[in-house]
Structure 1
Amino acid sequence: MAANPSTGTATVSFTLNGAPVTAQANETILQAAQRHGVEIPHLCYSDRLRADGNCRACVVEIDGERTLAPSCCRYPSEGMSVASKSPRAATAQKLVLELLQSDTPEGLSLTPHNELSHWCEKLQVSGRRFPARQQPEPDRSHPAITVSLDACIQCGRCLRACREEQANDVIGFYHRGSRARIIFDMDDPMGQSSCVGCGECVQVCPTGALMPAGDVGRQTIDRQVDSVCPYCGVGCQLTYHVKDNRIQFVEGRDGPANHGRLCVKGRYGFDYVNHRQRLLTPLIRKADAPKRPEMDMDYDNPLRDFREASWEEALQYAADGLKKVLDSRGPAGLAGFGSAKGSNEEAYLFQKLIRTGLHTNNVDHCTRLCHASSVAALLQMVGSGAVTNPVADVDKCEVIVLIGSNPTSNHPVAASFFKNAARAGKTLIVMDPRKTDIARHAHHFLQFHPDTDVAMLNAIMHAVIELDLVDKAFIEQRTEGYEALKQHLQEYTPERMAPICGIPAETLYEVARIYASSKGSMIFWGMGVSQHVHGTDNVRCLIDLALISGQVGREGCGLHPLRGQNNVQGASDVGLMPMVYPDYQRVDNQDARHRFEALWNTTLDPDPGLTVVEIMHAILDGEIAGMYIMGENPAMSDPNLNHARQALASLEHLVVQDIFMTETAHYADVILPASAFPEKTGTFTNTDRNVQMGRQAIDPPGQARQDLEIILAMAERLNLNWDYNGPQDVFNEMRRAMPSIAGITWERLKKESSVTYPCRKEGDPGQPVIFQERFLRADGKAALVPAHYSHADELPDDAYPCILITGRQLEHWHTGAMTRRASVLNNLEPQPVAMLHPEHLQQIGVQSGQAIILRSRRGEITTRVRSDSGVTPGQVFLPFCYYEAAANLLTNEALDPDGKIPEFKFCAVQVEPA
């Protein structure tokens, strides 16, 4: 072997079809040939999957060897002579293609990019000498995928994609020889199997044996548009395939967060944009249509209380109403909710409009309802509210701790990387009161009692200290407050905390040893940690644990709060919060305020504003009378919905900008029809701090307008002298306002699609791992902050003996405004359902599928029930996306004192048969 002078990697020199070529280290003959522009037919091979070598379409002749070799899994050696086009190799390749083609019936309409047809054309294989095998009728039992085994060539790509890439273990081979065929689970119809609809098998299938339902993938398309996923914070890159201004199907792209993978929402949740309930014209509330606090929205006729208006009338009416409140009550009488679903540019301009046009800091968005406590703790202790390391670092770590998160439902693509890492030998430790699917991949599963996070985590830290596994050098050089923390932890012994948290002391010691002694340990957490009145303390414990173990500031370790919405990180970064300007610069910091006053040419409010739930209280207290809500749905997402809906109904003037007649729009005075995700261009920041370009694929319907255009029109009517010609102009101003992204240009994003911040100078590669040398606090050191164990605001009692836990489910997202209008997703999970343990169901005399009543001190709902042994008896898990059984009618609006986040994850309820 010789060293490659440009890369330093080893290379192999050999001849291919008589020409000298080189192969890089660990490069197969097929890969080397592709790099040198030599085509070799292949079908079972995909550059995204492990090579299998079972189709034999890629065989080559190697000088001196008796048999032909599959080039996809054969590595060249120095001096080897390889022929891919010799008579012997070409004859074998053609014969393989002819045999495979014989198994597909004549006239079968295959995908336009059908690889079998492609190679048959390339090698001039035509005609059929061999009889086709009899195959079953198509299986159309799954709402998302059609199975046509008459087109299956048994290449095994779908099996490897399902088992090895997505780690879902649904697809297998059944029988042997000529009887062999693909099956799902125990030879179930696909729609009745455990398939999660990720569509990875569809994307890798080379013939169309697996296709999107309705065979949409068989159609020709007008164009392809590269963009990103509109759902969770993982930030998967994808490609829209468009025909006649409609998205026909979606495929994954090789982005840094997904490497081609998608989940069921990203792949099939796109047709909501064409739903019949899209808002097409501006609307103004009829004079005789009063607002009612109770939710009596007519979902069949949602526009009954509104009349159509021109854009000019609606915009002027919206602005005049806000100015009227401003004149009568001053800036404190106004507030705005922005959106984490929109672009960075939209979020930036919206918070700027509220601060400069309405002169108030009463502006917030849904980060208040998901990770506000995480941001509060991270800012306090390490100086930044963002993740320290990307999800991809699981490849470099030894231990993965996942706490308070259900990634297989909430972040399915990230979950696939966790599962891959566990199968590769990494130690996965899962901690959660509810046993979800990811637990079956865990080496240690800690099903602790709800509300006892601090007790359990303090006990683990106590064990780290007692086992002498603290990183003394790291603590001394890079932290402060260790002695106070050590003193605080003395009473939190594993033996004393075990009966409180429900985890044996031996397990707590073992987890402490595994985490603290590894070369690299990463902690991931979700809203099961953050959505508590002690959410900030929960996160403080996680940060303390990482710091005393020295598990921060390197590749393969660190802290990662998994973001719930596609741009919740970006919306927070650009200042869509009441206490900070862009880049988390405090509004009550005089220097920061002066900088933004100079940039925006205005005078700014020096006091932090109110948060989401505080704004609702302020409305009912008569302090706030006007609101502008863009893309948020607090009438579904806020806790104690009766309280929130009463507040919305009490407003003198409410402007709603959205794509559907949401529950919140029901209370509006004026509604401005906006653009859906695929209808706009802008930047979005994922959970890994990757700033990515989302590109417009289709045009908005009817008179709906771009969100950015609407914000600019409102700014004009609020007497703001803005001059932007599109999202690029806004992004350029953001770079001046935000040092963290100053080095990221619009042109670079168009070219690279993804750049990680901090990126402070043009040309910098970005910084995936932060805190390598110092933390972002004034002295460069992290603060160790003790957290005291405390209880939830509302504990179970005789009247309300059960614990309600809310969350998301795989098929639906947030309040369901988008996913419940996506046909495939709603067909998969069309009805609200609560999860109860089978013993609990038996105790109350209810069977799976029957209805129950859930009642809290704030409201009640009726929903069907499903047996779930993952929850313990006395717990109830309820998704919050169904308006028919809105979980937040039950939840508690009590707030964490630091993050001001509501306690969604714990409240006391009654359960009884309906």
Structure 2
Amino acid sequence: MSNAITEIQKSKCLLIFGYNAADSHPVVARHILKARANGAKIIVCDPRKIESARVADQWLGLKNGSNMALVNALAHVIIEENLYDKSYVENYTEGFTEFRKIVSGYAPEDLEGITGLKAADVRAAARTYANASEAMILWGMGVTQFGQATDVVRGLAGLALLTGNFGREGVGCGPVRGQNNVQGTCDMGMLPHQFPDYQSVEDPEIREKFEKAWGVKLSGTPGYRLTEVGHKADEGICKAFYVFGEDPAQTEADLAAMRETMRKLDLVIVQDIFMTQTAEFADIIFPATSWGEHEGVYSSADRGFQRFYKAVKPTGDVKPDWEIFSLLATKWVIQCRIIILKKFGMNFVNYVLIMLALLTKRWKVLKMFNGHVRQRIIQEHHSYSKAINLLRHQVKDS
């Protein structure tokens, strides 16, 4: 998210697209209701009349699969009616001329049969969003779980850029996450095409930094995405699956194809807390601890951190995920240790140091919003700079 969740209630207009906050994120839903109470206009774009739509000023019940058409129609109206922020577009964006050509063919009147929406309603929504002094867009799985997801997300970000709704309080784009700590795992590089801090594996200079830090040669070719691995296994390119915290034999769209793929693999390793459908295909099962049996940090969509502690001591031969990975790496003669990458830039270094701070019990409250750290250190240290310097020495000494 480009904004903090708490800023939702300070916005003057919320454009909610494919997102049912009441069911998936009740805390966010409360901020939406507070924004409504504070006078914000609410526009909901969803085929279903979800809870947010019931309190909205306008509900656009578009047809399934017409997300991209509606987003482009909104952009069309904003540009055609001169509602866009010309100064912001000129100073902070690129490609406006090409973008304008693309959306020029998406007049709401021409799309009524595709979206199922009256042109007048689409135009009214575009005007409400563009004319608000502070406007924010929220979207969820109703956008990201479709084949057009990437283009729709770009289109929604384009609406925010057109209207200058970035870089201020109560504005921006709010892509909420589908599961807890998805944000944290992505931040730390659990993506097929990016290293930690969203640095591209295809960039030679970035790759060189990681190779030097980790002491291994790294591939410049992005890894396979989940939608590709089944095909790669069928082609004989992928020979094994190591699955943890996931149940593809139960959750993938084409279950029959995924299960057949898993039968063909040479090796399936499953690391989980349950005997899942996927675990039934496993050659090796590693029992892992559940959330109440280990400690760690959750990163929310707006980069806020939630520190959590172990509630009970794990029983039996179970271990935290990180410990299982570390033990495997040790067996494979890979040295595992925490490394602070001095040349990665202060954002990444500070992020790692902040995570280390969160993993200690010395400080009880530490939050990050929009990249700006606000903290309250309970015991002996009373400033961010002192905390960072202390952590630098701790890491150096270790």
Aligned pairs for 1:757-768 within 5 A: 758=371, 763=384
Task: Say whether the 8 Å CA contact 1:691–1:756 is kept in structure 2.
Answer: no
Q: Provide the residue aligned with 1:405 in structure 2.
A: 19
Task: Work out whether 1:716 is the aligned partner of 2:323.
Answer: no
2:384 partner SS: coil
Q: Provide the residue aligned with 1:572 in structure 2.
A: 186
Distance 1:757 1:457 in 2: 26
Task: Say whether the 8 Å CA contact 2:197–2:348 is kept in structure 1.
Answer: no
Task: Work out whether 1:754 is the aligned partner of 2:364.
Answer: no
State the one-letter code of the partner of 1:472. K
> Which portions of structure 1, spanning 4 or more consecutive aligned residues, are displaced by more than 2 angstroms?
732-751, 753-764
1:480 partner SS: coil
2:233 partner SS: helix
Per the TM alignment, residue 665 of structure 1 is displaced from its structure 2 partner at its CA by: 0.7
Task: Work out whether 1:458 is the aligned partner of 2:75.
Answer: no
State the one-letter code of the partner of 2:357. E
Q: Provide the residue aligned with 2:82 in structure 1.
A: 468
CA offsets, 1:857-888, max 9 Å, x none? xxxxxxxxxxxxxxxxxxxxxxxxxxxxxxxx
Aligned pairs for 1:810-829 within 5 A: none
* Range with greater deviation from structure 2 (566-575 or 700-709): 700-709
Task: Say whether the 8 Å CA contact 2:297–2:358 is kept in structure 1.
Answer: no
Per the TM alignment, residue 683 of structure 1 is displaced from its structure 2 partner at its CA by: 2.1
- Of the three residues 657, 677, 695, the one matched with 2:291 is 677
State the one-letter code of the partner of 2:161. L
Per the TM alignment, residue 603 of structure 1 is displaced from its structure 2 partner at its CA by: 1.2
Task: Work out whether 1:692 is the aligned partner of 2:299.
Answer: no
Q: Provide the residue aligned with 2:259 in structure 1.
A: 645
Distance 2:261 2:317 in 1: 30
Q: Provide the residue aligned with 2:347 in structure 1.
A: 740
Task: Say whether the 8 Å CA contact 2:367–2:373 is kept in structure 1.
Answer: no
**1:498/1:421 CA distance change after superposition, 3 Å:** same
- Of the three residues 475, 478, 484, the one matched with 2:98 is 484
- Of the three residues 273, 277, 284, the one matched with 1:663 is 277
The number of residues matched between the two structures is: 372
Task: Say whether the 8 Å CA contact 2:14–2:43 is kept in structure 1.
Answer: yes
Task: Say whether the 8 Å CA contact 1:742–1:759 is kept in structure 2.
Answer: no
Q: Provide the residue aligned with 1:434 in structure 2.
A: 48
Q: Provide the residue aligned with 1:500 in structure 2.
A: 114
Task: Say whether the 8 Å CA contact 2:289–2:320 is kept in structure 1.
Answer: yes
Task: Say whether the 8 Å CA contact 1:700–1:706 is kept in structure 2.
Answer: no
Task: Say whether the 8 Å CA contact 1:691–1:755 is kept in structure 2.
Answer: yes
2:306 partner SS: strand
CA offsets, 1:292-328, max 9 Å, x none? xxxxxxxxxxxxxxxxxxxxxxxxxxxxxxxxxxxxx
Q: Provide the residue aligned with 2:378 in structure 1.
A: none
State the one-letter code of the partner of 1:573. D
**1:522/1:757 CA distance change after superposition, 3 Å:** closer
State the one-letter code of the partner of 2:367. S
Per the TM alignment, residue 755 of structure 1 is displaced from its structure 2 partner at its CA by: 2.6
State the one-letter code of the partner of 1:619. A
Per the TM alignment, residue 403 of structure 1 is displaced from its structure 2 partner at its CA by: 0.6
Task: Say whether the 8 Å CA contact 1:582–1:738 is kept in structure 2.
Answer: no
CA offsets, 1:169-193, max 9 Å, x none? xxxxxxxxxxxxxxxxxxxxxxxxx
Task: Work out whether 1:628 is the aligned partner of 2:257.
Answer: no
Per the TM alignment, residue 466 of structure 1 is displaced from its structure 2 partner at its CA by: 2.2
State the one-letter code of the partner of 2:327. A
Distance 2:312 2:348 in 1: 28
Distance 2:358 2:50 in 1: 40
1:486 partner SS: helix
Task: Say whether the 8 Å CA contact 2:4–2:370 is kept in structure 1.
Answer: no
Per the TM alignment, residue 425 of structure 1 is displaced from its structure 2 partner at its CA by: 1.8
Distance 2:7 2:250 in 1: 35
Distance 1:748 1:714 in 2: 26
Q: Provide the residue aligned with 2:395 in structure 1.
A: none
Per the TM alignment, residue 406 of structure 1 is displaced from its structure 2 partner at its CA by: 1.1
Q: Provide the residue aligned with 2:319 in structure 1.
A: 705
Per the TM alignment, residue 713 of structure 1 is displaced from its structure 2 partner at its CA by: 0.8
**1:748/1:567 CA distance change after superposition, 3 Å:** closer
Task: Work out whether 1:613 is the aligned partner of 2:227.
Answer: yes
State the one-letter code of the partner of 1:747. A
CA offsets, 1:310-356, max 9 Å, x none? xxxxxxxxxxxxxxxxxxxxxxxxxxxxxxxxxxxxxxxxxxxxxxx
Distance 1:493 1:442 in 2: 24
Distance 1:754 1:427 in 2: 29
State the one-letter code of the partner of 1:721. Q
State the one-letter code of the partner of 1:558. G
Task: Say whether the 8 Å CA contact 2:292–2:311 is kept in structure 1.
Answer: yes
State the TM-score, normalized to the length of structure 2: 0.88
Task: Say whether the 8 Å CA contact 2:302–2:370 is kept in structure 1.
Answer: no
Task: Say whether the 8 Å CA contact 1:693–1:754 is kept in structure 2.
Answer: no
Per the TM alignment, residue 692 of structure 1 is displaced from its structure 2 partner at its CA by: 3.0
Per the TM alignment, residue 499 of structure 1 is displaced from its structure 2 partner at its CA by: 2.6
Distance 1:673 1:579 in 2: 29
Distance 2:357 2:232 in 1: 44
Per the TM alignment, residue 748 of structure 1 is displaced from its structure 2 partner at its CA by: 5.9
Q: Provide the residue aligned with 2:5 in structure 1.
A: 391
CA offsets, 1:802-861, max 9 Å, x none? xxxxxxxxxxxxxxxxxxxxxxxxxxxxxxxxxxxxxxxxxxxxxxxxxxxxxxxxxxxx
CA offsets, 1:209-242, max 9 Å, x none? xxxxxxxxxxxxxxxxxxxxxxxxxxxxxxxxxx
Per the TM alignment, residue 393 of structure 1 is displaced from its structure 2 partner at its CA by: 1.1
**1:447/1:616 CA distance change after superposition, 3 Å:** same
Aligned pairs for 1:257-656 within 5 A: 387-656=1-270
Task: Say whether the 8 Å CA contact 1:398–1:519 is kept in structure 2.
Answer: yes
2:305 partner SS: strand
Distance 2:128 2:113 in 1: 22
**1:740/1:633 CA distance change after superposition, 3 Å:** farther
Per the TM alignment, residue 736 of structure 1 is displaced from its structure 2 partner at its CA by: 7.5
Distance 1:575 1:659 in 2: 23
Distance 1:606 1:688 in 2: 29
Distance 2:240 2:301 in 1: 33
Task: Say whether the 8 Å CA contact 1:400–1:426 is kept in structure 2.
Answer: yes
Distance 1:570 1:430 in 2: 28
Q: Provide the residue aligned with 1:177 in structure 2.
A: none
State the TM-score, normalized to the length of structure 1: 0.39
Aligned-pair identity in percent equals: 35
Per the TM alignment, residue 735 of structure 1 is displaced from its structure 2 partner at its CA by: 8.4
CA offsets, 1:33-64, max 9 Å, x none? xxxxxxxxxxxxxxxxxxxxxxxxxxxxxxxx
Aligned pairs for 1:186-225 within 5 A: none
**1:484/1:461 CA distance change after superposition, 3 Å:** same
**1:702/1:667 CA distance change after superposition, 3 Å:** same
State the one-letter code of the partner of 1:650. K
**1:665/1:735 CA distance change after superposition, 3 Å:** farther
Per the TM alignment, residue 395 of structure 1 is displaced from its structure 2 partner at its CA by: 2.1
Q: Which runs of 5+ in 2 are unaligned?
A: 375-382, 386-398
Per the TM alignment, residue 420 of structure 1 is displaced from its structure 2 partner at its CA by: 2.3
Distance 2:78 2:188 in 1: 38
State the one-letter code of the partner of 1:526. G
Per the TM alignment, residue 747 of structure 1 is displaced from its structure 2 partner at its CA by: 3.2
**1:409/1:463 CA distance change after superposition, 3 Å:** same
State the one-letter code of the partner of 1:699. K
Q: Which runs of 5+ in 1 are unaligned?
A: 1-386, 724-729, 765-914
Report the aligned-residue RMSD.
2.1
Distance 2:38 2:371 in 1: 31
Aligned pairs for 1:61-72 within 5 A: none
Distance 1:404 1:595 in 2: 39
